[in-house]
């Protein structure tokens, strides 16, 4: 069992962060101060995601536009109900080939292989001090190990046109995403 040091909710060992406040979970428990949430209930909480387009049975889509796919697996549970946070989680900070990323027309927010949002790329730049400070604060709030941000990049962009979003959102990327969270298609 793990527990949240901020709100004292208890979780099973499969999670690392509190679903209420994002704090890193600690091992151990105090039955007097915690509430036990069974694992199936947690899955249901995570699965409640606003969808902009119908999920098409997990069918992979052929990506025919120049795209950079960003796997936001660590941040999506914190970002799925907040469009601004989702954009920030997708746009930066990434270790990538900027010249290749600049050829992309779109960048995708992907979680568990499914395209959650599509943004139009305006530019790909070296990570700014403001963006690095934003992510250091997020890492600290979530109890995560703070990593160096040197050599990282970020996208500048906006939501893609609705036609493009309908084409991709809710569909699966055509390949399994590995450990590297950045993947290039047609660029």
Task: State the pTM of this model.
Answer: 0.66
Range(s) of the domain holding residue 32: 2-47
CA-to-CA separations, 136 to 127, 129, 132, 140, 147, in angstroms, rounded:
13, 10, 6, 6, 8
Q: Considering only residues 58 and 124, tell me which one the structure prediction assigns the higher pLDDT.
A: 124
The first and second tokens of residue 83, run together, are 């469009």
Given a cut of 90, whether residue 47 has pLDDT beyond it is no
Same domain, 37 and 106: no
Average pLDDT over residues 147-163: 90
Residues 92 and 41 both lie in one domain: no
Instruction: Look at residue 56 and tell me if it is in a domain.
Output: no
Are 162 and 107 in the same domain? yes
Tens digits of residue pLDDT in 97-117:
999 999 999 999 999 999 999
Does residue 60 lie within any of the structural domains? no
Residues 19 and 85 in one domain: no
Does 71 lie in the same domain as 163? yes
**28 — pLDDT class (breaks 50, 70, 90):** low
Is 54 inside a domain boundary? no
How is residue 48 written in tokens?
């409640």
Decide if 59 is inside a domain: no
Max avg pLDDT among 80-94, 107-121, 123-137, 169-183: 107-121
Q: Structurally, how many domains does the chain consist of?
A: 2
Q: Given a cut of 60, is residue 30 above it in pLDDT?
A: no
What is the DSSP track for the chain? -EE-TTT-EEE-TT-SB-TTT-PBPEE---TTT-EE--HHHHHHHHH----SS---TT-B----S-EEEEE-TTTHHHHTT-HHHHHHHHHEEE---HHHHTT-SEEEEEETTEEEEEEEEEEEEEPPHHHHHHHHHHHHHTTPPPPP-TT-EEEEEEEPPHHHHHHHTTPBPSS---S-SEEEE--
């Amino acid at each position: 069992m793990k527990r949240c040091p901020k709100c004292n909710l208890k979780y099973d060992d499969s999670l690392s962060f509190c679903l209420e406040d994002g704090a890193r979970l600690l091992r151990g428990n105090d039955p007097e101060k915690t509430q036990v949430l069974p694992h199936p209930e947690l899955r249901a909480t995570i699965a409640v995601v606003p969808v902009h387009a119908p999920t098409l049975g997990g069918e992979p889509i052929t990506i025919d536009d120049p795209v950079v796919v960003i796997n936001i697996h660590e941040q999506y549970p914190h970002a799925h109900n907040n469009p601004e946070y989702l954009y920030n989680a997708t746009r930066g900070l990434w270790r990538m080939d900027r010249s290749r990323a600049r050829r992309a027309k779109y960048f995708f927010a992907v979680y568990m292989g499914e395209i959650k949002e599509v943004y139009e790329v305006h530019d790909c730049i070296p990570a700014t001090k403001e963006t690095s400070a934003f992510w250091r604060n997020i890492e600290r709030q979530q109890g995560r190990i703070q990593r160096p941000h040197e050599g990282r990049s970020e996208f500048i962009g906006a939501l893609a046109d609705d036609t493009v979003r309908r084409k991709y959102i809710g569909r699966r990327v055509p390949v399994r995403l590995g450990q590297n969270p950045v993947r290039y298609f047609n660029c």
